[in-house]
Structure 1
Amino acid sequence: MGLLKPLGDEVSVHVDAPVDRVWALVSDVTRIGEFSPETFEARWTRGHTGPEVGATFKGHVKRNGVGPTYWSPCRVTVCEPERVFEFAVGTEAVPVNNWGYRLEPEAGGTRVTEYFRLHPSLPVRIYWFVLGRLRGRTNRAGMRTTLERMKKVLEEER
């Protein structure tokens, strides 16, 4: 399998909240610092103030919660209200990966799936081949933490 193994993953949780409230939270990038173990703040850029395809923002990241911080440029790639919110990380010319949330009504609440997908360039494939297992576990744990923190806030607001 080697360099052809899947370049992404996803985690889902059920949230006892309606899809419109979940959408309002996952598509508000300025709140990600409340939930993510790695991205501790984000802000809209270039005059954008909310989610729409093409809107840009930057996330302030501390990888694995240690080491130096850096700002990652991001651009919204999919924005289907109450269904999908996705953004690319990296420059427009060189995107590195996409992160997103899929929402589905489920049992009186919402099934929320957070996912990531790396862009299949050769350098990214080599990185994933060498560090994919470790980074994949870290990403999976981070997605689970993010979703559980969102779930707690949404369910407490009921």
Structure 2
Amino acid sequence: MSGLSREVTLTIAASPEKVWDLVSDVTRIGEFSPETFEARWTHGATGPAVGARFKGHVKRNGVGPTYWSPCTVTKCVEYEVFEFAVGLDGSAWTNWGYLLEPDGDGTRVTEYFRLEPKWFLRGYWMAMGRLRGRTNERGMRTTLERMKRVLES
């Protein structure tokens, strides 16, 4: 991944189908994420598909005020990749996703985020990137470890 992105990978002892069902169900993210404590499908969407929209209720770093972030599914290949853009139509700031790869009897899951290459985001990343990158990596690891516990129980 580039300087404007980060990723965390964990192997989970569950099939890609079971992992897919969990990572692509945005309504369950509040069980796992340390920052996004709920999400709901919007604009008539009821499940994962390219173009489906949802909104996530976020508390940055788990503290401070909460806000809703509009999201749009940008990649959706069953049992392989689920990705969404955060931001309004045509002005996404970040992309978040999950890559799934069969690994023996389990699944290698990579959660990642990528900032869009906009000039003001590059400035933000130069100033805050190291700190924000570490925070996001911790959050992704926490999310994947919590998913692992549910899927392996």
Give the TM interval when normalised to the shorter protein: over 0.9
The 2-side partners of 1:41 and 1:102 are apart by: 21
The 2-side partners of 1:77 and 1:7 are apart by: 18
Secondary structure in 2 matching 1:43: strand
Alpha-carbon deviations, 1:62-116, whole Å to 9, x = none?
0000000000000000000000000000011210000000000002100000000
Structure 1's unaligned 5+ residue stretches are: none
Secondary structure in 2 matching 1:33: helix
User: Is the counterpart of residue 15 in structure 1 residue 12 in structure 2?
Assistant: yes
Structure 2's unaligned 5+ residue stretches are: none
The 2-side partners of 1:93 and 1:52 are apart by: 18
- Counterpart of 2:100, as a letter, is L
Match of 2:140 in 1: 143
Work out the number of aligned pairs and report it. Answer: 152
User: Is the counterpart of residue 104 in structure 1 residue 101 in structure 2?
Assistant: yes
- Counterpart of 2:34, as a letter, is P
Match for 1:90 among 87, 92, 95?
A: 87
Match for 2:128 among 108, 126, 131?
A: 131
Identity %: 68
User: Is the counterpart of residue 121 in structure 1 residue 118 in structure 2?
Assistant: yes
Match of 2:64 in 1: 67
Q: CA deviation at 1:6?
A: 1.1
| Structure 1 ranges of 4+ moved more than 3 A | none
The 2-side partners of 1:27 and 1:113 are apart by: 13
The 2-side partners of 1:37 and 1:94 are apart by: 25
Question: TM-score, normalised to structure 1's length?
Answer: 0.95
Secondary structure in 1 matching 2:21: helix
Match for 1:27 among 21, 24, 31?
A: 24
